Amino acid sequence: MSYQYTYPSPMDEPGFDGLPDAQRELGRAVNERARDGEHGGDRRLILLSLNVPAEDKAALAMIWGGPDAAKEFLP
């Protein structure tokens, strides 16, 4: 995959502006885990490991990897 999930990434939060508070908070938590090296800093693997709504995962995947990345998380 060519998604920008893996750290280091120069900017964490572009695109978070239009997200609801819960998704924005989830995005920050995923970024923090990635910075700490969880799953090798791979945001996709972090998203896969979380027990949160698929729509929230898809919204963040779309920001970090584009529309095709969101499809992985939607039913």
pLDDT tens-place string over residues 19-60: 999 999 999 899 889 888 899 888 999 999 999 999 999 999
How sure is the predictor about 1, in pLDDT bands with cuts at 50, 70 and 90? Answer: very low
Residue 7 lies in a domain: no
Amino acid 2: pLDDT: 42
Question: Does some domain include residue 11?
Answer: no
pTM, two decimals, is 0.81
Residue 3 lies in a domain: no
Under the banding of pLDDT at 50, 70 and 90, the label for residue 9 is: low
Asked, for residue 9, whether it belongs to a domain, the answer is: no
Whether 62 is covered by a domain: the verdict is: yes
Q: pLDDT higher for 17 or 55?
A: 55
Q: Please, which residues have CB within 8 angstroms of residue 17's CB and are 6 or more apart in sequence?
A: none
**What's the confidence (pLDDT) of residue 64?**
86
Range of the domain at 34: 18-71
**65 found inside a domain:** yes
What φ, ψ does residue 54 adopt, rounded to 5°?
-60, -35
